[in-house]
Amino acid sequence: MTATTSGAAQASGIEPFDTVDLIHAKRDGKKLSTAQVSWLIDAYTRGYVGDEQMAAMAMAIFLNGMDREEVRDLTLAMIASGERLSFDGLSKKTADKHSTGGVGDKITLPLAPLVASFGVAVPQLSGRGLGHTGGTLDKLESIPGWQADVSAEGMRAQLESVGAVVCAAGASLAPADKKLYALRDITGTVESIPLIASSIMSKKIAEGTSALVLDVKFGSGAFMQDPARSRQLAETMVALGTDAGVATTALLTNMNVPLGLAIGNANEVRESVEVLAGGGPADVVELTIALAREMLASAGQPDADVEAALKDGRAMDTWRAMISAQHGDPDAALPVAKETHVVTADRDGILVEQQALPFGIAAWRLGAGRARKEDPVQHSAGVDLHAKPGDPVKKGQPLFTLNADEPARFERALEALQGAYRIGDPGSEVHDGGPLIQGRITA
């Protein structure tokens, strides 16, 4: 159904469909038409369809799924519920990245300026953390003065002058998704692939970028732990992007082990700056480079020397300009926790296991995350790792450090880490889930 028909229905006071009929259809495994899906999302956004009815529909979708056409219709309907950004007239090609989130995932921070240093505009609309996964905006707000809110005009100007902007999405972008996501979060329907895919892609397509690279994670610390389900999600999102005319690819990446050595906010910014300076942990560098190559290839630069831009300072220069443009001070000291607690190895051997999820929960309990959207975060809180799976360790050697402003937080953080790491004898099998990057998906 077109927006015009929907508007006419509202004006006459007559709705073209009965919500209960649509719930029955999806409950019984039937396919919803384009007109039905479009009306449902429009009617829910304007309040005609109630939360209790949409909750029933979400559960029906969770149980019975949707085919490709239905997911496409759902995504387009959520886009149509709000505004669409446009970068027409920008002198640069645009490319964006989205990660499904994980423990220690700070890749956006070095990635955006790295890609922008090649003359590609990176409009990165990011969010805040909830639960064990950190939010990009929370990390950047640990930089004194940095501001997440940028107007559409300011965003365009910064893309033209600097090449990269990381900011909060406006309320007018896919408002139906915001409303539906909040409902899914309290009705046990978050893990539905059609609902996840349409949620992510409605915002990314509405953002207006011409190319998109997806980092879809699996494993202990991932939103979706099963590799097969993660692949299915990636394939669904790539299809949605392709159908909408956005050049879309995806990498499947391993989140069984925390990414990098820093888990938190300010400490993840420090680690990102290390990567931009040509150093940093090998896994963070590997994923940053892989995603940068995907983004640059989609923007017509398949042979860009990404490693050189990290070594010669170009990416760092763009980082400094990006932070300064949003009123941050790239030279300012970052917050440091008032209290620390160091955990050491109780024997000689090899670190054979380091589960991502418990370390994410520990950082959350230390104050780095939030239980509710309105909760503040402590930018200095988090975990610093001193060893990764496969590393040899000696008795008494630091394994990780907990950082918090309130020492009372250490007890619950340590509770979360019971059984989360293990030291084995030399030659023992290392349980890290295998290589970092385990697949590439294209249209």
Catalytic-residue membership of 311: no
Co-location of 317 and 395 in the same domain? no
Could you tell me if 43 and 49 are in contact, meaning their C-beta atoms sit under 8 angstroms apart?
yes
* 154 and 121 housed in the same domain: yes
Asked if residue 43 belongs to a domain, the reply is yes
Do 124 and 260 share a domain, yes or no? yes
- Of 332, 350, 374, the one marking the end of a domain is 332
Rounded to 5 degrees, φ, ψ at 32 are: -90, 140
Number of domains in the chain: 3
CATH number at residue 42: 1.20.970.10
Domain limit, last residue, from 332, 360, 378:
332
> Got the DSSP string for 396-423?
T-EEEEEEESSGGGHHHHHHHTTTSEEE
Catalytic residue chosen out of the listed positions 42, 105, 138, 177? 177
> Beta strands of 188-260 (E only): which ranges?
211-218, 247-254
Q: Is 79 a member of any domain?
A: no
CA dihedral of residues 363, 367, 371, 377 (deg, nearest 10) = -120
On whether both 363 and 322 belong to a single domain, the answer is no
345 and 268 in a common domain: no
Identify whether 380 is a catalytic site residue.
no
Same domain, 158 and 243: yes
132 is catalytic: no
CB contact set of 99 (below 8 Å; sequence gap of 6+): 105, 107, 108, 214, 215, 217
DSSP annotation of 368: I
Q: Look at residue 87 and tell me if it is in a domain.
A: no
State yes or no: is 298 an active-site residue: no
**CATH classification at residue 266:** 3.40.1030.10
| pLDDT values of the chain reduced to their tens digit, one per residue, 443 residues | 333 344 445 555 789 999 999 999 999 999 999 999 999 999 999 999 999 999 999 999 999 999 999 999 999 999 999 998 889 889 999 999 999 989 999 999 999 999 999 999 999 988 876 666 678 999 999 999 999 999 989 999 999 999 999 998 877 889 999 899 889 988 989 889 999 999 999 999 998 999 999 999 999 999 889 999 999 999 999 999 999 999 999 999 999 999 999 999 999 999 999 999 999 999 999 999 999 999 999 999 999 999 999 999 999 999 999 999 999 999 999 999 999 999 999 999 999 999 999 999 999 999 998 766 667 889 999 999 999 999 999 999 999 999 999 999 999 999 999 999 999 999 999 999 999 999 999 98
Do 152 and 274 belong to one domain?
A: yes
Residues 193 and 278 in one domain: yes
Q: Are residues 296 and 327 in the same domain?
A: yes
Where does a domain end: 298, 313, 332?
Answer: 332
The answer to whether residue 223 sits within a structural domain is: yes
Same-domain status, 325 and 352 = no
Q: Provide the 10 A C-beta neighbour count for residue 343.
A: 16
User: Is 106 annotated as catalytic?
Assistant: no
* Catalytic hit among 126, 199, 272, 298: 199
* CATH code, domain carrying 348: 3.90.1170.30
Which is catalytic among the residues 97, 98, 179, 370?
A: 98
Instruction: Report how far residue 154's alpha carbon sits from residue 160's, in angstroms, rounded to the nearest whole number.
Output: 10
Q: Spot the catalytic one: 93, 156, 179, 203.
A: 203
Pair 107, 187 in one domain: yes
Q: Which two tokens stand for residue 226?
A: 């099963």
Domain that holds residue 326: 96-332
Residue 435, domain member (yes or no): no
Whether residue 75 lies inside any domain: the answer is no
pLDDT at 3 (0 to 100):
39
Residues 23 and 156 in one domain: no
Q: Does 320 fall in a domain? A: yes
* Nearest partner of 106 among 224, 227, 241, 280, judged by Cα: 280
> Considering the domain boundaries, does residue 141 fall inside one?
yes
- Given 156, 184, 293, 409, the catalytic residue: 184
